[in-house]
């Protein structure tokens, strides 16, 4: 009630002012907020990004430093972000970089999408009716503004917008190991049907994980609005479908990764060892064989999803000692065979190696066959990537 009364008092100061309407309002000019806003705008939604800060974008200390996520866990726009960073460094992708380069790439997302941005706007009150957030009151040097949206995403680290809606964290007692206890605040999911606060609720410290959560929050908002259901009713299956078929959020062609862990997409012949949980692997495993063990060993990566147009093919090299510097491949496009040989620099590791560009006339699949022929060290099979040359 007190938030509603406060809203009325503040609204009276801007009597007659028109309430500005949006599909999605995102709070937080950090990597998570920028990705959420870009995703919603790319999907065709009228999107507003606000933050009390003047300098945009900003991130936590350590942005651009090494992180713990496996590359296979990085999806959608976050995957594209690291490729754009890599492009500025002369690489296919880069996970470690100067923060200034990361900020430059983040800023390009805002510029390209033309998201409406309001820096230096603080949320000072809200209007909640039933289980929905209806309206926000913002304060800036220009004065007070009223805004409303169908869906709200608070990507701030501290829940700056959420805490203005009447949301209250709970207190939990923890034993301190000395016979006493201390209390801590626990942030549960908001009860409002159209409000998310993914960064605050998860408590994640990594901006990489936060970028992923920003896009996921936008996906949930889109599904919620399209089907007129509460956010809590959006399923993980529906979210995964977006990442698989529409990762860039604008309907353009997705990339396709075939990983050795996907048994249905693999044909394995001969003796291969499965290496598990090793750093530098794409996904949980990769397959490895010694050319002296069985000269007939080979593996076929099959793209079950049909491809159309021009695609660049990449082969992933995990972290492995004594790996071969020569890999012979056979690429099948519409059952037409193309031969390719990769000649790797010594110690090539944890990277995608370009194979070539291939054209798919119709919606057909592409196969990649790797064999021991010509290998001069341990041969690995981890993943292949089909990347659209033009989205």
Q: Mind listing the pLDDT tens digit for each residue in 19-36?
A: 999 999 999 999 999 999
Strand partners of residue 333: 336, 366
Looking at residue 119, the DSSP 8-state letter turns out to be: T
The region of weakest confidence among 169-173, 233-237, 346-350 is 169-173
Query: Distance from first CA to last CA of the chain, Å, rounded?
Result: 50
Q: What is the pLDDT of residue 146?
A: 98
The answer to whether 260 touches 288, Cβ cutoff 8 Å, is no
Per-residue pLDDT at 246 exceeds 60: yes
Instruction: Answer yes or no: are the C-beta atoms of 139 and 121 closer than 8 Å.
Output: yes
Structure confidence at residue 254 (pLDDT)? 96
Q: What is the pLDDT of residue 7?
A: 47
* Rg (alpha carbons) of the chain, rounded to whole number: 25
pLDDT-derived band of residue 205, with 50, 70 and 90 as boundaries? confident
- Identify the band that residue 191 occupies on the pLDDT scale cut at 50, 70 and 90: very high
pLDDT of 97 above 90: yes
- Check: CB of residue 341 under 8 Å from CB of residue 299: no
- How far apart (Å, rounded) are the C-alpha atoms in residues 63 and 97? 8
Averaged pLDDT of the chain: 91
pLDDT digits (tens, 9 = 90+) for 323-372: 999 999 999 998 899 999 999 998 889 999 999 999 998 889 999 999 99
- pTM equals 0.91
Helix (H) or strand (E) holding 101: helix 99-113
Q: Do 355 and 314 contact (CB within 8 A), yes or no? A: yes
Per-residue confidence (pLDDT) for residue 360, from 0 to 100? 94
Check whether 2 has a pLDDT greater than 50.
no
Q: Is 147 in contact with 48 (CB distance < 8 Å)?
A: yes
Distance separating alpha carbons of residues 163 and 154, to the nearest angstrom: 10
Q: What is the DSSP letter of 71?
A: G
Q: What's the pLDDT band for 16 if we cut at 50, 70, 90?
A: low
Tokens 């806003």: give the residue.
37
Taking the C-alpha atoms of residue 139 and residue 323, their distance in angstroms, rounded to an integer, is 60
- Stretch 152-171: mean pLDDT, rounded? 93
Could you tell me the pLDDT band of residue 5, with boundaries at 50, 70 and 90?
very low
Residue, of 14 and 229, whose pLDDT is higher: 229
Beta bridge partner(s), residue 144 = 139
% of the chain at pLDDT higher than 90: 77
Q: Which two tokens stand for residue 324?
A: 């071969």
As to burial, measured by CB atoms within 10 angstroms (0-12 exposed, 13-18 middle, 19+ buried), residue 329 is buried
Domains and CATH numbers, the chain: 2-245 (3.50.50.60), 256-388 (2.60.120.260)
When pLDDT is averaged across residues 54-68 and rounded to a whole number, the result is: 87
C-alpha span between 40 and 340 (Å, rounded) = 40
**pLDDT value of position 84:** 97
Judge contact between 214 and 197, C-beta under 8 A.
Answer: no
Closest CA to 358 of 247, 243, 256, 244: 256
Contacts of the segment 237-242: beta carbons below 8 A, 24+ positions apart: 242/76
Is the pLDDT confidence value at 119 over 80? yes
Mean pLDDT of 110-129: 95
Q: What is the pLDDT of residue 17?
A: 76
């Amino acid at each position: 009630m007190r938030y509603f009364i406060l809203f009325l008092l503040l609204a009276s100061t801007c009597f007659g002012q028109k309430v500005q309407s949006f599909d999605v309002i995102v709070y937080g000019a950090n990597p998570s907020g920028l990705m959420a806003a870009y995703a919603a705008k790319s999907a065709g939604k009228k999107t507003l990004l606000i933050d009390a800060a003047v300098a945009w974008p900003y991130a936590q200390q350590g942005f651009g430093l090494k992180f713990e996520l496996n590359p296979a866990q990085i999806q959608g726009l976050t995957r594209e972000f690291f490729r754009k960073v890599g492009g500025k460094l002369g690489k296919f992708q880069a996970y470690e970089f100067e923060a200034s380069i990361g900020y430059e790439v983040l800023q390009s997302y805002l510029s390209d999408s033309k998201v409406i941005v309001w820096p230096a706007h603080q949320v000072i009150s809200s209007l909640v009716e039933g289980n929905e957030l209806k309206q926000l009151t913002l304060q800036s040097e220009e004065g007070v503004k009223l805004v409303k949206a169908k869906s709200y995403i608070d990507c701030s680290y501290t829940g700056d917008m959420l805490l203005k809606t009447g949301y209250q964290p709970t207190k939990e007692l923890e034993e301190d190991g000395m016979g006493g206890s201390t209390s801590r605040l626990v942030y549960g999911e908001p009860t409002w049907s159209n409000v998310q606060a993914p960064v605050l609720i998860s408590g994640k410290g990594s901006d990489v994980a936060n970028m992923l959560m920003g896009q996921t929050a936008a996906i949930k908002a889109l599904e919620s609005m399209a089907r007129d259901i509460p956010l809590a009713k959006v399923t993980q299956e529906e979210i995964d479908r977006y990442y698989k078929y529409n990762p860039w959020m604008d309907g353009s062609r997705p990339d396709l990764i075939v990983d050795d862990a996907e048994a249905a997409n693999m044909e394995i012949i001969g003796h291969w060892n499965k290496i598990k949980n090793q750093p530098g692997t794409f996904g949980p495993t990769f397959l490895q064989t010694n050319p002296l063990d069985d000269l007939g060993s080979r593996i076929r990566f099959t793209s079950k999803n049909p491809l159309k147009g021009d695609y660049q093919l990449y082969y992933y090299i995990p972290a492995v000692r004594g790996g071969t510097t020569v890999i012979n491949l056979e690429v099948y496009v519409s059952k037409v065979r193309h031969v390719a040989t990769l000649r790797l620099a010594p110690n090539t590791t944890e990277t995608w190696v370009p194979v070539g560009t291939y054209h798919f006339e119709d919606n057909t699949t592409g196969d990649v066959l790797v064999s021991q022929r010509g290998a001069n060290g341990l041969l690995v099979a981890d993943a292949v990537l089909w990347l659209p040359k033009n989205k």
